[in-house]
Structure 1
Amino acid sequence: MNFPPKIFNSHSKEDGDFFLGITKILGFKPKNLQIFKKAFLHRSLNIKDMEGNPMNYERLEFLGDSMLGTIISKYLYSMVPEGDEGYLTKMRSKIVSRDHLNELGKDLNLIDYVESRIPKSHFGNNIHGNVFEALVGAIYLDRGYSYCEKFINKRVIEPYVDIEQLEGKVISYKSLVIEWCQKMKKDFDYNVYEDTGNDTVKHFAVKLSIEQNVVAKARATSKKKAEERASKRAYYALQHQMEKSE
């Protein structure tokens, strides 16, 4: 299948605008612009290469996720010599959390470059982080590890990574609540039930009970999100007790 001219014509005005925009984001000129173009192709385009393989950002996203984790791990290993494996793993998880990656993608306005048949207003929030990871993967393929590390230092570590602040950052309230309940030998239960109400989108409602007492309720469009919201409310309701037990 031939590549669509709009996306892969290297002499088009669109390519010139794309080159200038990406160069500004990267801080250096890409060698192979087509690799970076692929980092913004949504699967809804249903594009395939000459061998019939899908052409979208998902494989680059996979690669970028690995590179991001490796470079952040190296940074933490060097900067926190006293940190054990568990500590370093938690800190890395905070830096590369989905919420944080989504914010990075938004800050760089990466969605402006996405090519898709789906209106951008219909994308979920994770598109921002997914494309950011794909961009990291493209940098690695185009320029190698050193340029990838420089980009992550410039766009992730220098402006956003503060070890002391990260130590106090919560990435999962559900995990905190469960760990506390297990430590204090308290029974807990997430009672999940469908609750569509008048909403056009399906919702789930959650009641979080500890020792058979309901301590928090929440609603969301997925079971996982509803449980996390209920856990966050329970955490703040029980924060004084949880801090005393530490």
Structure 2
Amino acid sequence: MSLIRKIIKPRTARDEYFFVELKKIIGFIPKNLHYYKKAFIHRSIQEVDKESGLPQNYERLEFLGDAMLSAVIAAYLFEEVPSGDEGYLTQMRSKIVSREHLNELGRDLDLLKFVKSTVAKSKFGENIHGNVFEALIGAIYLDRGYNFCEKFIQKRVIIPYVDVPKLEGKITSYKSLFIEWCQKQKKDFQYEVYEDTGKDTVKHFSVKLFLDGKIISKGRATSKKKAEETASKRAYFAFQNEITNN
């Protein structure tokens, strides 16, 4: 036993904590912590690989994880909904892997606690939760392969969250829905960004939504896209009867 201890390099206290917490999240023993550590390195650290000189952060793993998540969900829907055509399956997959849903998954797992960054965590946008969730999937794939990726996604995404009948009625973009209604009804609409006088430490955008020349709603968020979505959501509920009945 003592010989084995000498051969196997012991983990540091920090690595031991990371190992234990990570095992709880992924549900199995990670073999190579290097992949998982990289999944939580923010680009602000400006870390580079000593041998290759390439940047070391979660962005490439995020790309890989996004592809693996999409593949697993696509295979699940293909088997689960044999009557679904390509358009239906694509739409359902988009609802499951929406940025909003991925952010929710990342928050639920409290992945932000592992992120290494020179930026204060309070300054991060919401999307970092989903980004590191995808990066974690990418790390699992490199460490243990497709089957373990599939098991993790089944456990953390499909079993607790995926209900196909409920997803069919879920609205993923109020803006798209509102614009589609305006186009069908031949109504004029316009999103107008106006000056935000708020004193938040993080910059916010404010948007007015006009319908036939009149302001019908406003939205405010940390990005123009989110502000437009907020304004669209408020407009949707203001005109819900007209929109749903046409």
Give the TM-score, by structure 2 length.
0.90
Residue by residue over 1:119-159, the C-alpha shift from the partner in whole angstroms, topping out at 9 and shown as x without a partner, is 32222221111111000000111111111001100000000
Match of 1:21 in 2: 21
**In 1: Cα distance, 2:120 partner to 2:216 partner:** 40
- 2:216 corresponds to which letter in structure 1? V
**Partner residue, 2:143:** 142
> What is aligned with 1:167?
168
Query: Equivalents in 1 of 2:39, 2:204: separation in Å?
Result: 32
Preserved CA contact (<8 Å) 1:194 1:203: no
1:206 is matched with 207
> SS in structure 2 opposite 1:190?
strand
Whole-angstrom CA distance in 2 between matches of 1:197 and 1:109 = 29
1:10 is displaced (CA, Å) by 6.4
Determine the C-alpha separation between the residues in 2 that align with 1:191 and 1:211. 13
Deviations, residues 209-243 of structure 1 (Å, cap 9, x unaligned): 22223221222332212211111011001000112
Cross-structure match for 2:85: 84
Query: Which runs of structure 2 are paired with 1:1-246 in the superposition (5 Å)?
Result: 11-49=11-49, 50-199=51-200, 201-245=202-246
Secondary structure of the structure 2 residue equivalent to 1:232: helix
What is the CA-CA distance between 1:201 and the residue it aligns to?
A: 4.6
Q: Distance in 1 between matches of 2:203 and 2:91?
A: 33
**1:103-124 CA distances to partner (integer Å, 9 max, x unpaired)?**
1111111111112222322222
Structure-2 change in CA distance of 1:199 and 1:35 (3 Å): closer
Using the TM superposition, give the Cα deviation of residue 35 of structure 1 relative to its aligned residue in structure 2, in angstroms. Answer: 1.0
Once residues 211 and 229 of structure 1 are traced to their aligned partners in structure 2, the CA distance between those partners, rounded to angstroms, is 19
DSSP 3-state at the match of 1:151: helix
CA distance in 1, matches of 2:18, 2:42: 16
Q: 1:200 to 1:58 in 2, by over 3 A?
A: closer
Q: CA deviation at 1:24?
A: 1.2
Q: Report the CA distance between 1:22 and its aligned residue.
A: 0.9
Taking only the aligned residue pairs, the percentage that are identical comes to 65
Within 2, Cα distance between the matches of 1:128 and 1:200?
Answer: 20
Give 5+ residue unaligned stretches, structure 1: 1-8
Once the two structures are TM-superposed, the CA of residue 191 in structure 1 deviates from its matched residue by 2.2
Q: Determine the C-alpha separation between the residues in 1 that align with 2:204 and 2:108.
A: 29
Counterparts of 1:233 and 1:65, CA distance in 2: 31
| Residues matched between the structures, number | 237
What is the alpha-carbon distance in structure 1 between the residues aligned to residue 121 and residue 215 of structure 2? Answer: 39
Whether the 8 Å CA contact 1:196–1:204 is kept in 2: the answer is no
- One-letter amino acid of the counterpart of residue 37, structure 2: K
SS at match of 1:181: helix
SS at match of 1:117: coil
Q: TM-score, normalised by structure 1?
A: 0.90
Preserved CA contact (<8 Å) 1:139 1:147? yes
Structure 2 letter corresponding to 1:43: R
Cα RMSD after superposing both structures: 1.7
| Partner AA of 1:241 in structure 2 | E
CA contact (8 A) 2:123 2:202 kept: no
